[in-house]
Structure 1
Amino acid sequence: MKGRFQMVDIKETVSIMDIDFLKVTKNELMKEMLLPALVNGERRFIVTANPEIVMKARQDASYRQAVQRADYTIADGIGIVKAADWKGEPLPERIAGYDVMRNLLQIAEEKGYSCFFLGAAEEVNERAVQEVKRLHPNLKIAGRHHGFFELKDDTVLEQVKTANPDMVFVALGLPRQENWIAKHLDQFEKGLFMGVGGSFDVLAGEVKRAPGIWIKLNLEWAYRALRQPARILRLMTVFHFMFLARFKK
């Protein structure tokens, strides 16, 4: 696309434990913020934050600083939406990071933008990219790299920089993915950088996403816990977040 795109600067946010969440719908985020940034060749950092990310940021000052560097922080978790309701500053909806990634891949294929896939195990990363190619045969794949590397390893950084992608999807899990982006963001002139957690596992077929009815009822977290019993311990963090958000002012 030629020319510059008029940005619609939506700045209204709600602060939840020192993390500012955008009061936007997914449609507004895509059309009024991310697409214009792509068209204008700008650099943006997107955090899709759930209660676990907020609690980690609450406990870890360096991680909190990394998350606070984000240009756009969106509510990827019904717990965040509930916390905003309790503050009397409601968010319009939950915005699933996986859905944002899928929308961005569609835009990239249609508009000719390139994508880099960083993270997960080598075989998972490879299968995820193969699935992306199947779903989006005309997508430009700038490159890929597994997630088993030290954050201080600049060879991975140089690989991403050389690829010069328009979008970088970082599946390193928290806190590594936000820390990696925050540490290296200034070394790029353009690009959307987004932590996507376990999204490569879903694309690769390692993890099955919840059926639509579970998502519609805001019970995706429960479905994941039932499918992956190891996640039940992580629910304790979510319950702690909900307690603090409801009763600690």
Structure 2
Amino acid sequence: MDRRWPHETVDVLGVRVSRIDVARLRAFTAAAVKDRTKLTITFANPDYVLKAQNDPALRDLMNRFDLNLPDGWGVVLAAKIFGRPVPGRMANDDLTDDLFGQPAEHGWRVFLFGNAPGVAEAAAENVQKWYPGLHIAGTLHGHWADDQGRIPAETAERLIAEINDASPDILHVGLGTPLQQRFVSDYRDRLTAPVIITCGAYFEHLAERREYYPALVLKLRIGFLYRLAREPRRLWRRYTVELGSYLGRVIMHRIRHGKAPDA
């Protein structure tokens, strides 16, 4: 654990998940921007955790981040089953007021990098409406990967230069997993933004409407069912076969190893 960002974690099938609340997240973010100290943040959902258990390289990538926030009730439930509960779910969608409201309050510069062409621009337009005073330093789409699923070195150099020229305080990277984690891990020391946050398809949610999940869906904690209904062909396997496999592994791990040790 990086001593600059002290906090407790829980081991969820090999992924170190951060046990912090929103107040601590905001405090860490403010300190990083003020001191120009690097703070990298990613998110652990059941899909990522399951893939990381089968892919040591992805697991290592995720564990290199300063914060690994619990994205999804499956991770929240696993932490509880392992005896080291987290304060709650902290997905990008849950943190919109913090990810953009806090920068608007303090005059920080935010850069949106990722998703399909045009999506980051639409997301930027919306968040500027919702948070008056928010300064969007720039946007870039995220369709740069080659046939091997990697961003070529010469392309990465150009992207880094463009991002750094905009002098953002916070950089959101939405390239999908594991490309976004790899990009941040490979170039964190080259990127001048003190706070770097991975965000998957989050810009698509921001571009569509203020609340991606209806209030009732959030209250009932059935976001996965709502997403499945919206995109059944893409997500049916993730929320049936893979989720069942994930929960089975969590239960078997608890039976075999007991509660998670302090981390």
TM-score normalized by the length of structure 2: 0.85
**Structure 1 segment 1-249 matched on structure 2, within 5 A:** 9-31=5-27, 33-150=28-145, 151-152=151-152, 153-154=155-156, 155-205=158-208, 209-230=212-233, 231-235=235-239, 236-248=241-253, 249=256
Alignment check: 8 A CA contact 2:206 2:212 kept: no
Alignment check: 8 A CA contact 1:171 1:195 kept: yes
Q: CA deviation at 1:105?
A: 1.0
SS at the partner of 1:210?
coil
Q: CA deviation at 1:45?
A: 0.6
Amino acid across the alignment from 2:249: L
Q: CA deviation at 1:119?
A: 0.7
Give the number of equivalent residue pairs.
Answer: 242
Deviations 1:27-58 (A, max 9, x none): 33223x22222222211110111011112222
The change in CA–CA distance for 1:94 and 1:34 in structure 2 (over 3 A counts) is same
Q: CA deviation at 1:59?
A: 2.0
The whole-number CA distance in structure 1 between the counterparts of 2:10 and 2:132 is 39
Q: CA deviation at 1:238?
A: 2.1
Deviations 1:2-43 (A, max 9, x none): xxxxx9954211111121112122233223x22222222211
The whole-number CA distance in structure 1 between the counterparts of 2:245 and 2:100 is 34
Alignment check: 8 A CA contact 1:44 1:190 kept: no
What stretches of structure 2 of length at least 5 have no aligned partner?
146-150, 257-263
TM-score normalized by the length of structure 1: 0.90
Deviations 1:145-167 (A, max 9, x none): 00100222221122112222110
Deviations 1:166-206 (A, max 9, x none): 10111111111111111110113442111111211111118
CA RMSD of the aligned region, Å?
Answer: 2.0
The change in CA–CA distance for 1:26 and 1:65 in structure 2 (over 3 A counts) is same
What stretches of structure 1 of length at least 5 have no aligned partner?
1-6
Report the identity percentage: 27
